[in-house]
Amino acid sequence: MSVSLALAAMLSVTSAHAQSVATEIATQQHRVESADARVSGRLVMVDGAGKRTSYKFSLKMHGFPDGVRLLEEVDTPQPLRVLVRLEHNGRVTARLAHKDAAGKWQAQAAPAQLTEPLAGGGFVLEDLVDDQFFWKDQSIVSHGPCGPRQCITLKSAPGGADHSQYATVVSSFDEKTSALIHVTKTVRGTGVVKDMTYSNLHQSHGVTAAAQIELKVAGTAGSNLFIIDHGTAKANLTRADFDLGSSTLEDPQHQNEDY
- Residue 127 has what pLDDT? 97
What's the number of domains the chain is made of? Answer: 1
Domain of 50 in residue numbering reads as 3-254
- Residue 20 has what pLDDT? 86
**Assigned domain for 238 exists:** yes
- pLDDT bucket at 2, cuts 50 / 70 / 90: low
Residue whose C-alpha is closest to residue 128's, from 32, 52, 55, 199: 32
We report the CATH number of the domain holding residue 98 as 2.50.20.10
- Residue 33 has what pLDDT? 96
CB 234 within 8 A of CB 205: yes
Read off the pLDDT of residues 34-63 as tens digits, 9 standing for 90 and up: 999 999 999 999 999 999 999 999 999 999
| CA dihedral (90, 86, 61, 156) positive or negative | positive
- Residue 16 has what pLDDT? 43
State yes or no: pLDDT of 11 exceeds 60: no
**Assigned domain for 240 exists:** yes
Across the range 172-200, mean pLDDT stands at 96
Distances (CA, A) of 182 to 47, 134, 147, 149, 151: 22, 18, 11, 12, 10
Residue whose C-alpha is closest to residue 37's, from 56, 73, 62: 62
- Residue 255 has what pLDDT? 53
- Residue 252 has what pLDDT? 44
**Assigned domain for 46 exists:** yes
- Residue 17 has what pLDDT? 47
**Assigned domain for 259 exists:** no
Read off the pLDDT of residues 205-256 as tens digits, 9 standing for 90 and up: 889 999 999 999 999 999 999 999 999 999 999 999 999 987 655 554 445 6
- Residue 246 has what pLDDT? 74
Tell me which of 161 and 95 has the higher pLDDT. 95
**Assigned domain for 215 exists:** yes
Task: Give the pTM.
Answer: 0.88
Residue 168: φ, ψ to 5°: -145, 155
